[in-house]
Amino acid sequence: MKYLLTYLKGMAMGAADVVPGVSGGTIAFITGILDTLLESIRRINPNLIKLVRQQGIKAAFDHINGPFLLAVFGGILTSIFTLAKLITYLLVAHPIPVWSFFFGLIIISVVHMLKQVQGFSLVRLALFAIGAVFAWGITMLNPIVMEMTYLNIFIGGCIAICAMLLPGISGSFILLLLGLYTSVLSAAKNIDIAVLATFAAGCIVGLLSFSHLLSALLRKYHDATLIFLTGLMLGTLGKIWPWKQVLTWRTNSDGEQVPLLEQNLSPMQFEAITGQPSQLVWALVAMCAGIGLVWALEYFAGRKR
């Protein structure tokens, strides 16, 4: 039952990672598995080979918390291959309620993270501001177009997987900024083994290296790191704002025109400029649902402790 729940949390992470602007790391944090995930990945290092020789594969598998990792990444992959189409459809058919749900999710997650910080100081407030400005700056960047080479795909995998571990920064959005999002999706759709293997290699290198850094920061400077990550989450709210006007478009892997650059609008401006209903009531309901979901997770986690 424990690993089934972990598997479902992994599915939630995978569903979030599909959406440019929403971070799987945020889901990992609010579901309470981020620290365990980082620690488990951190244990995958050269010393593992020595452990295999001395005590066998089973001991090494237990050492890295293998069942937990299988459950998490199994859930992520399952979600990517099964829920991706549903989430993509909902974002096209019902964008305002879906983005409102994510908006509420991020807002309450920021509150949830700040409650875990023991005391505030000018330095910590500065870290919070730096995190927010940094994340906001990333979301405001214009996408570039990197040449489709194996080296760039490898680098893209390294960066995207690091973003996936960080609450607030979306790995898929980083790929979009690098101009590799369409290429990677196209490779997945066409099962281009060479490109997928190169991207996976980059992900593995980024995962094993960055997880050590983030895990060490959380161990040695827990509150300072936490408040910086909270700033990152807050800074992405502009990207997730439900009411937008599309300024420019891009062609996706299916040859369809999808938004590239967008401008945030108020619900009233949205109705005036686009001529479409703002769906304000549905947006508020969806936002409250996102807030309620995190509150419920926090409540049940508290009861379990």
How does pLDDT run across 174-202, given as a tens digit for each residue?
787 777 876 777 777 677 888 889 998 99
To which residue do tokens 């001529």 refer?
Answer: 275
To which residue do tokens 């993509």 refer?
Answer: 88
In the 8-state DSSP scheme, what is residue 146? -
User: At 301, is the pLDDT very low, low, confident or very high (cuts 50, 70, 90)?
Assistant: low
Distance CA 283, CA 133 (A): 26
Task: Tell me the mean pLDDT in the region 43-56.
Answer: 85
Residue 260 has pLDDT above 90, yes or no: no
Report yes or no: 168 and 232 within 8 Å, Cβ to Cβ.
Answer: yes
pLDDT of res. 189: 67
How does pLDDT run across 10-42, given as a tens digit for each residue?
988 887 777 766 678 878 877 788 888 888 888
What angle (nearest 5°) sits at the alpha carbon of residue 70, between those of residues 68 and 73? 105
What angle (nearest 5°) sits at the alpha carbon of residue 74, between those of residues 39 and 295? 70
The CA–CA distances, whole Å, from 30 to 17, 165, 170, 251, 298 equal 15, 13, 15, 34, 8
Residue 279 has pLDDT above 90, yes or no: yes
Residue 112 has pLDDT above 70, yes or no: yes
Neighbouring CB atoms inside 10 A of 186's CB total 15
DSSP bridge partners of 244: 264
pLDDT of res. 285: 96
pLDDT of res. 149: 84
Strand, helix or coil for residue 277: coil
How does pLDDT run across 213-228, given as a tens digit for each residue?
888 888 888 888 888 8
What angle (nearest 5°) sits at the alpha carbon of residue 234, between those of residues 231 and 240? 150
- Say which residues have a Cβ less than 8 Å from residue 240's Cβ, sequence separation at least 6: 21, 22, 99, 102, 103, 106
In the 8-state DSSP scheme, what is residue 142? P
Strand, helix or coil for residue 191: coil
Q: Tell how many helices (H) and how many strands (E) occur in the chain.
A: 17, 2
pLDDT of res. 143: 64
Neighbouring CB atoms inside 10 A of 41's CB total 21
pLDDT of res. 261: 75
Q: Which tokens is 74 given?
A: 């199994």
For the chain, first and last CA: distance in Å?
Answer: 17
pLDDT of res. 271: 93
pLDDT of res. 168: 65
Neighbouring CB atoms inside 10 A of 47's CB total 11
User: At 303, is the pLDDT very low, low, confident or very high (cuts 50, 70, 90)?
Assistant: low
Residue 253 has pLDDT above 60, yes or no: no
- Say which residues have a Cβ less than 8 Å from residue 194's Cβ, sequence separation at least 6: 150
Residue 295 has pLDDT above 90, yes or no: no
Distance CA 98, CA 104 (A): 10
Residue 4 has pLDDT above 70, yes or no: yes
Residue 254 has pLDDT above 60, yes or no: no
Instruction: Give backbone dihedrals phi and psi of 303, rounded to 5 degrees, phi first.
Output: -65, -40
80-88 long-range CB contacts below 8 Å, 24 or more apart?
80/14, 80/17, 80/18, 83/11, 83/14, 83/15, 83/18, 84/15, 84/18, 87/15, 87/18, 87/19, 88/18
How does pLDDT run across 127-173, given as a tens digit for each residue?
999 989 988 887 777 666 667 788 889 988 888 888 777 776 777 77
Residue, of 251 and 6, whose pLDDT is higher: 6
Residue, of 265 and 233, whose pLDDT is higher: 265
pLDDT of res. 258: 66
Distance CA 158, CA 238 (A): 25
- Say which residues have a Cβ less than 8 Å from residue 214's Cβ, sequence separation at least 6: 38, 165, 166, 225
User: At 48, is the pLDDT very low, low, confident or very high (cuts 50, 70, 90)?
Assistant: confident
Residue 45 has pLDDT above 90, yes or no: no
